[in-house]
Structure 1
């Protein structure tokens, strides 16, 4: 599902600059590829596949009706418009820009800002998030219902207990990720294939996953994590075989096992060859891969941590699997492709954004030889899932999956801003950055929303596209 534009955020969530800097909404990018990524949340794309057997959120019939409609002239005009705005004052000093973030994060509560929006014309506005998910869109207004789901996630959050458990979170995530239908039998067929070529690499990672988090260790077993990652590795492996030239495929020995039935998870998998001989199963690496858009991904170290929140939030491994697969292949394929070029582009953007919003802190870290490549690699790759506590990770992910995982770059910068005084007063800031302080999702979101208004258009476009 395409990530929303900056215009999708309600205007009252952004606070005016106390310094008088003109921070307006950016123009819509004009390139066709960026338009597809930045287009409004009203375009449901392939959302006709979003169905849960146990909790039908948006019925298939209603979604098919949406697919059959043309984009309205009003929406088409909104996609093509390019409003002008002044560039953000990226040359301002870090100490001057910092009050913008502080004011946005502490002046008013999200609920107060929400009240200022006035009444919505959509019937979905009157429904609670749980009821909207359970009953589906009122009056068949799927587009408005989806927009309201995003806003309610941002404004009210997803109800959960003290451990972060929620009966609706996984279904909301599946909707926001535009995840296709996957039966448990299809998932089991992948599991029953046995060890994938990446199996040894997976076993080297899983026992270290969130070892200090008792909530995760109590709810998710290592065996469950191994099964999910191994199934993902099989799909990535199969797709890689599909992309391999036919001459290269013929040179490999045939598999001793029959090819399993395929699911709707990936159309490419339907034409994949039989599984290769386990005797030739070697750990997949990213070395020597071609980091272009056509190159499929492979299993990389760190995917175990990225999968952990899905297994914790889901009610079954199959739900966690399809959500995780959708995140990897649709939202951030660049993180597992080539030499993880998407991650490295994200790290460069952390440095760039920090230099814009807090020049003083950026220069100080640079003077100490600290770039994002050194301290932020795990946070970029795992969408901050590497930083405890897990319930706060889930709340932050609610925001990221609602408005785009690319916003994780801004969330990392927000955490640096929140550590600003400690970093500037430390002669060895590298010690503080070895492990980030515990997450506070609401504060991070508030800072990230302020940062969105402070960065130039072209930088925001880079953030949106860096993981593709």
Structure 2
């Protein structure tokens, strides 16, 4: 019988110990670099520029009185006995890539264009392939908007297993992820077990355990390496932040005031105090301090590993996603996830009051049945190819829309839920995802959400 890791000390699988081998730093063959994935975002500072959704938030804070509304054109409704369609609300797009005048912001959803034959391209699939490989021809902002339109019109071309050579590069562009040296990723692996290693090992073997596609392509060793590298990366960032906050005061100042006083906020002090609650496994016991690993991150990173062509690509995309798009989901207290659960209840009460009242009368609030779906962006619900297609939409228009995606899944189950005396039994496992129907229903539901509630959706992951 083999000894447990706790007795003999933790062990990180080496890059050459599995079927999915990683090249060593000295090898002449290195993992594919990510430069071709960033031709669309070449005008941005990759390391410091906020992601697409973050830039829109900054714009709203800078110009609170300006109007950046988007008129949504009609889209087909899903067959879910919805109430008659109301006049469309004007909606601020949350995932804008640049600051633009309101009259130049394109629509969130565009009508299907006629077959594309311009510039020698035979179809939208060919256009997407050329856009990724050659980069934008002209304006970057309009090219990014065209990329979003192509995703929602025809989607990304895949094989029967949901695999696509383009998908990971589309995700990296939409996340505005920086380029990464392969040696940087390998150096994190070679540091050995992180403080969160024991907790990671306790979760990885259960990751999408019943999905044969995932198990065939992604090994547990690959999951362990990536999550352990992420834990080290977050650990270093947390240590650097605490160190910078403990520096002695100086007389230096700039146009924004003293750098020390800029960081002397109650939030920073609270984060410093909460850091003392870190347990031996590296996951936060509570508070608002950022953790280095929380349960559920294993499922959240699984689609990145499945879609990527290398661990280094999956690493940079996943790190960018959890640190820029949903940092509230990976804090020790998971306050972003709990905010999302409350929003599921609020949105469902507006979208379908009858269904909402029925679930509440049975004691079925979202915190009972939707925790995993909120935390993992629906990655916990099979099949995996449908998850990837849904994520294409979420990365294009904002991962906050996952809350509405969950509501749409409930609306698609409406008749069965209303007819069941125990809807909780049905909600233990959601029906298999149907990405196209969910995306169509989500866009349809956006119009019905009041502006103030939609604003909560946009910011609940911060």
* TM > 0.5 fold call: yes
| Among 90, 101, 120, the residue aligned to 1:76 | 101
**1:2 equivalent in alignment to 2:52:** yes
**1:11 equivalent in alignment to 2:5:** no
Conserved 8 A contact 1:407-1:463: yes
Report the alpha carbon displacement of residue 288 of structure 1 after superposing the two structures with TM.
Answer: 3.4
1:133 maps to which residue? 132
1:21 maps to which residue? 86
Conserved 8 A contact 1:354-1:362: yes
What is the SS of the residue equivalent to 2:90? coil
CA distance in 2, matches of 1:175, 1:247: 33
CA distance in 1, matches of 2:460, 2:74: 28
CA distance in 2, matches of 1:207, 1:338: 22
Aligned length: 364
Conserved 8 A contact 1:122-1:144: no
CA distance in 2, matches of 1:165, 1:434: 29
Q: Deviations over 1:102-149 (max 9, x none)?
A: xxxxxxxx99x4148x999999997611111111112x2211111000
2:96 maps to which residue? 40
Alignment of 1:194-343 (within 5 A): 194-244=192-242, 282-289=280-287, 291=288, 295-343=289-337
2:157 maps to which residue? 159
Q: Deviations over 1:41-74 (max 9, x none)?
A: 3x1xxxxxxxxxxxxxxxxxxxxxxxxxxx6xxx
1:95 maps to which residue? none
CA distance in 2, matches of 1:436, 1:171: 30
| Among 178, 181, 200, the residue aligned to 1:180 | 178
Conserved 8 A contact 1:202-1:229: yes
Task: Structure 2: give runs of 5+ residues left out of the alignment.
Answer: 1-50, 58-67, 248-277
What is the SS of the residue equivalent to 1:11? coil
Report the alpha carbon displacement of residue 427 of structure 1 after superposing the two structures with TM.
Answer: 1.0
Report the alpha carbon displacement of residue 422 of structure 1 after superposing the two structures with TM.
Answer: 1.0
| Among 451, 455, 468, the residue aligned to 2:449 | 455
Report the alpha carbon displacement of residue 296 of structure 1 after superposing the two structures with TM.
Answer: 3.0
CA distance in 2, matches of 1:133, 1:20: 37
Please identify which structure carries the higher helix content. 1
Conserved 8 A contact 1:350-1:409: yes
When normalised by structure 2's length, the TM-score is 0.73
CA distance in 2, matches of 1:114, 1:245: 53
CA distance in 2, matches of 1:389, 1:24: 33
CA distance in 2, matches of 1:424, 1:281: 44
Task: Structure 1: give runs of 5+ residues left out of the alignment.
Answer: 29-36, 44-70, 81-109, 250-279
**1:114 equivalent in alignment to 2:112:** yes
Report the alpha carbon displacement of residue 79 of structure 1 after superposing the two structures with TM.
Answer: 8.6
2:362 maps to which residue? 368
Conserved 8 A contact 2:70-2:90: no
Conserved 8 A contact 1:350-1:413: yes
What is the SS of the residue equivalent to 2:101? helix
Conserved 8 A contact 1:40-1:79: no
Q: Deviations over 1:350-391 (max 9, x none)?
A: 000000001111001001101100100000000000000000
CA distance in 1, matches of 2:87, 2:418: 28
CA distance in 1, matches of 2:104, 2:133: 30
More displaced stretch, 365-374 vs 126-135 = 126-135
Report the alpha carbon displacement of residue 235 of structure 1 after superposing the two structures with TM.
Answer: 1.0
What is the SS of the residue equivalent to 1:13? coil
CA distance in 2, matches of 1:206, 1:159: 29
* RMSD, aligned CA: 3.1
Conserved 8 A contact 2:94-2:397: no
Q: Deviations over 1:239-272 (max 9, x none)?
A: 12122257989xxxxxxxxxxxxxxxxxxxxxxx
When residues 220 and 411 of structure 1 are mapped into structure 2, their CA distance, relative to the original with a 3 A threshold, is same
When normalised by structure 1's length, the TM-score is 0.72
CA distance in 2, matches of 1:246, 1:177: 27
